[in-house]
Amino acid sequence: IAPLPAYVLLTFMAFLQAFIFMILTYVYLAGATVVEEGH
C-alpha cells in the first residue's frame, strides 16, 4: 500500500493553508493601511 495520496493531500493542505494565511495577512495589512490613511 503506497501512502502517496496521503502525501499529496498533506502537501496540498499545506500549500492551501499557506495561501490562505498570505491572503488574510495581505487583507489585514491593506485594511490597517487604509485605516491609518483615513486618520
pTM confidence score: 0.60
Per-residue pLDDT of 4-20, as tens digits, reads: 999 999 999 999 999 99
Long-range contact pairs involving 7-10 (C-beta distance under 8 Å, separation at least 24)? none
DSSP structural state of residue 3: -
Radius of gyration of the chain (CA): 17
Q: How many domains does the chain have?
A: 1
d(CA 28, CA 30) in angstroms, rounded, equals 5
Exposure string for 14-25, b = 16+ CB within 10 A, e = fewer = eeeeeeeeeeee
Report pLDDT for 32.
83
Report pLDDT for 17.
98
Give the confidence band of 37 by pLDDT, cuts at 50, 70, 90.
Answer: low
Report pLDDT for 36.
66
- Domain that residue 11 falls in: 1-39
